[in-house]
Chain A
Amino acid sequence: MIRTPLRPLARILHARATGANPDAIERENLRQRHEVIRDRARGRAQLRLLFLCMCFFSAFTVVGARMGMLAASEPMEPRTAGTGVNIAQGRADIVDRNGRVLATNMLTHALYVQTKDLIDPARVARELAAIFPELDAATLERRFTDGRSFLWVRKVMSPEQMQLVHEIGDPGLLFGPREMRLYPNGQLAAHVLGGASFGAEGVDRAEVIGTAGIEKALDARLRDPAQAGEPLELSLDLTVQATIEEVLATGVRQYEAKGGAVILMDVHTGEIAALASYPAFDPNDRPNPLADPNAEPGDSPLFNRAVQGVYELGSTFKIFAAAQAMELGLVTPDTPINTQSLSVGKKRFSEFDNHNYGPTKTVAEVIELSSNIGTGHIALMIGGERQKPFLKSLGLLDASPVELVEAPGARPLVPKKWPDVVTVTASFGHGMSSSPLNLAAAYATLANGGTKVTPTLLHRAAPMAGPRVVSQQVAADAVMMLRRVVTDGTASMAKMDEYAIAGKTGTADKPKRGGGYYDDKVVNTFASVFPAEAPKYVLIVTLDEPVDRTGPEVRRTAGWTSVPVAAEIVRRTAPLLGLRPAIAPQPLDGLTAVKQ
């Protein structure tokens, strides 16, 4: 660049010659130079602004274009997500503790009709009715032709039926894929599993939702896509459950009972190894609830007697009074108790069948003989204001926390006020009701050394560390007393060589709907723990309206009905649970005898 001098000599000389001020020339030149500098700076600034504008414009264009593309394009499942593990499964499987399948999914098809594509509605209706016996040809034809364009015909069908529908060959018949819930074991553990059905239905897929039992209680877990590949592991043991259901069904038939329930629970972990209620149903084809409003809920096979059945559990409660009195230091197993008479206010209490056990018996004998009067005296020593919190701490006054949707609805029936009469009746299990599952948890608490147990249906490896309810010594004494009930008392039919059972029988009259009690309808319960020397399992057997007609007289007490069923269950399941039987030395045969 050629720099112009501020004072060019020619112009200065000329100015001097003409008498003008040469400084004006210098200022003029200085001004021009500044103008040039300013223009250059402005130009550069404008260029920068333009560049920045371009940057922003292209950034916003990219964002806008991406948004537009996202909004305008078809939504599509990302195909490469995951490694294909969960593709086939929408709902997690349910397996038992050994991984055997209790509930799984199967791909099947639903049948629907696009009526405008039907060529010959009358023939299609006729042939569909021939394939599916529950459809009626005339109704189908009417629905095909009454103007609607879309119609569901079947929710699920077998591959054979699907092939037959294909063979009809009408273009209006269409199939939609369906994941169907399948319970391969049929009626096994039906009350635990509950059942499932379809929720919102579309042509391409339908959601499967749980309708009862653990399927509904843990619906969110089972439907969680993140855990769909991991089966839900229950604490049930399929083999033990099958054995127990078989023995229970035989027992119910043999004693002409209306139904029954069995619970087998691990006393340390609170895991329910088997939970059976008879009669059962097939969860693959769940029956409808009873329509008759006057029917007892227990008449329906859907009724889970083990959890929903809130019964007066009778003398099985007596051990709680004895345990609490020992815990409070009021008695020892050898303290004599009055068994002669007991009256509270105007109410006189008597023994079962008006037995007379003599003036006094020790606490252990009161339990062994199942004396109402003796237990009542123990309860009065404790007092109602201490008895109620103790029963609550055993979980007998609250709905069971087990993972079944039916459980929170089955609240124990507890009197609101707790006068002395209630203290006495509650001590032998009358005047208040609880479910067999609550009873199982309470017995487990006594059997595991005195810490509270919360029942669960989920596999749990570690033992529970619940709060302590009674001391270890009291728990051991209580189990020892229960053992005496079997060896010398009312549950003698549970005595066997191989396994030592400890338990308590309970016979309670069934309450009438309008009040009062039936004379000839009872609920028999046998609550037991085994093996007695180191309790590992608690077994509750409840029979509804059983009767034993084998003897000369008709017997309805638990000792003659529930106890033999429980003994058979222990005999059959204990080897499966890995408990070693006590083995009697074999009698010497001729050869061995000679050798010795």
Chain B
Amino acid sequence: MRPLLYVLSFLAVLGLGFWAYRENYTTQTALREVANLQDEIASLHESLAIQRAEWAYLNRPDRLRDLVVANFDRLGLMPMEPHQFGRTTDVAYPAPPSLADGVMEGTINLGLGKPVDVSGTLNADPEVQTP
């Protein structure tokens, strides 16, 4: 009985030693990974800050003003001024659709698309008949 106990405890020590060895290296790997991630986060933050600074620099009012002047032909941007404001009541309603527009768009059907029978007999009475 006793030798079996010795062998078992020896095996247990062996197993625990192996487990501790593995845990140690896993921990070290995890720590290295964390450090790498921290470095990466730091460098991403850094480039984010630079991007933000660059965005602010490219959107500075001086430059935008120059761009507006340079592209006036295409964009026609003007400073915001009070006379550009209006009242909703001053906005005209669209004109009611005229007959011609409706026919063109197909919303009004006069039945013009149907074939019309143009053949027939003329009245034989010459007095009624008109030339």
The contact string, 1 if C-beta is below 8 Å from chain B, for chain A 563-596, is: 0000000011011100011010110000110000
Asked whether A575 lies within 8 Å of B80 as measured between CB atoms, the reply is: yes
Chain B residues whose CB sits within 8 angstroms of the CB of A101 once the complex forms: 52-53, 55-56
Most chain-A Cβ atoms within 10 A of its Cβ — which of B34, B61, B81? Answer: B61
Q: How far is the CA of A238 from the CA of B65 in the complex (A)?
A: 14
Asked whether B50 lies within 8 Å of A107 as measured between CB atoms, the reply is: yes
Q: Interface size on A (CB < 8 Å)?
A: 37
Chain B residues whose CB sits within 8 angstroms of the CB of A85 once the complex forms: 45
Chain B residues whose CB sits within 8 angstroms of the CB of A592 once the complex forms: 92
Asked whether B61 lies within 8 Å of A80 as measured between CB atoms, the reply is: no
Asked whether B41 lies within 8 Å of A87 as measured between CB atoms, the reply is: yes
A84, A105, A185: the one within 8 Å of B49 (CB): A105
Q: How far is the CA of A80 from the CA of B36 in the complex (A)?
A: 11
Distance in angstroms from B124 CB to nearest chain A CB is 54
Q: Which of B63-89 contact A (CB under 8 A)?
A: 65, 79-87
Distance in angstroms from B38 CB to nearest chain A CB is 6
Asked whether B87 lies within 8 Å of A185 as measured between CB atoms, the reply is: no
Instruction: Using A101-B53, A585-B90 as known contacts, say yes or no to A88 and B85 having CB atoms under 8 A apart.
Output: no
Chain B residues whose CB sits within 8 angstroms of the CB of A580 once the complex forms: 85
Most chain-A Cβ atoms within 10 A of its Cβ — which of B60, B87, B90? Answer: B60
Asked whether B82 lies within 8 Å of A571 as measured between CB atoms, the reply is: yes
Asked whether A572 lies within 8 Å of B90 as measured between CB atoms, the reply is: no
In the assembled complex, B11 has its CB within 8 A of some CB on chain A: no
Chain B residues whose CB sits within 8 angstroms of the CB of A246 once the complex forms: 65
Chain A residues whose CB sits within 8 angstroms of the CB of B79 once the complex forms: 243, 572
The contact string, 1 if C-beta is below 8 Å from chain B, for chain A 494-507, is: 00001100000000
For the complex, would chain A's binding face be called helix, strand, loop or mixed by DSSP majority? Answer: loop
In the assembled complex, A225 has its CB within 8 A of some CB on chain B: no
Q: How far is the CA of A498 from the CA of B79 in the complex (A)?
A: 16
In the assembled complex, A188 has its CB within 8 A of some CB on chain B: yes
Chain B residues whose CB sits within 8 angstroms of the CB of A106 once the complex forms: 49-50, 53
In the assembled complex, A104 has its CB within 8 A of some CB on chain B: yes
In the assembled complex, A527 has its CB within 8 A of some CB on chain B: no
Asked whether A89 lies within 8 Å of B80 as measured between CB atoms, the reply is: no
Asked whether B53 lies within 8 Å of A182 as measured between CB atoms, the reply is: yes
Asked whether A87 lies within 8 Å of B92 as measured between CB atoms, the reply is: no
How many chain B residues sit at the interface, stated as a range, is 20 to 34
In the assembled complex, A6 has its CB within 8 A of some CB on chain B: no
Instruction: Using A84-B38, A104-B56 as known contacts, say yes or no to A576 and B82 having CB atoms under 8 A apart.
Output: no
Q: How far is the CA of A107 from the CA of B51 in the complex (A)?
A: 11
Q: How far is the CA of A576 from the CA of B49 in the complex (A)?
A: 28
Asked whether A80 lies within 8 Å of B92 as measured between CB atoms, the reply is: no
B35, B50, B62, B86: the one within 8 Å of A583 (CB): B86
Chain B residues whose CB sits within 8 angstroms of the CB of A498 once the complex forms: 82-83, 85
In the assembled complex, A359 has its CB within 8 A of some CB on chain B: no
Q: How far is the CA of A283 from the CA of B44 in the complex (A)?
A: 27
B52, B61, B82, B86: the one within 8 Å of A185 (CB): B61
Most chain-A Cβ atoms within 10 A of its Cβ — which of B54, B56, B90? Answer: B56
Instruction: Using A84-B42, A87-B41, A572-B79 as known contacts, say yes or no to A184 and B86 having CB atoms under 8 A apart.
Output: no
Chain B residues whose CB sits within 8 angstroms of the CB of A574 once the complex forms: 82
Chain A residues whose CB sits within 8 angstroms of the CB of B65 once the complex forms: 242, 246
Q: How far is the CA of A187 from the CA of B32 in the complex (A)?
A: 46
Asked whether A88 lies within 8 Å of B56 as measured between CB atoms, the reply is: no
Instruction: Using A87-B45, A101-B53, A586-B86 as known contacts, say yes or no to A188 and B60 having CB atoms under 8 A apart.
Output: yes
Asked whether B85 lies within 8 Å of A581 as measured between CB atoms, the reply is: yes
Instruction: Using A87-B38, A87-B41, A87-B42 as known contacts, say yes or no to A185 and B53 having CB atoms under 8 A apart.
Output: no
Q: Can you list 29 A-B contacts (CB < 8 A)?
A: A79-B38, A84-B42, A87-B38, A87-B42, A88-B42, A88-B45, A88-B48, A101-B55, A104-B49, A105-B53, A106-B53, A184-B54, A184-B56, A185-B60, A185-B61, A186-B60, A242-B61, A242-B62, A498-B83, A499-B82, A571-B82, A572-B80, A575-B80, A575-B82, A576-B80, A581-B85, A583-B86, A585-B90, A591-B92
- Going nearest first, the 9 A-B pairs with the smallest beta carbon separation are A242-B61, A498-B82, A88-B45, A581-B82, A84-B41, A184-B56, A101-B56, A184-B57, A87-B42
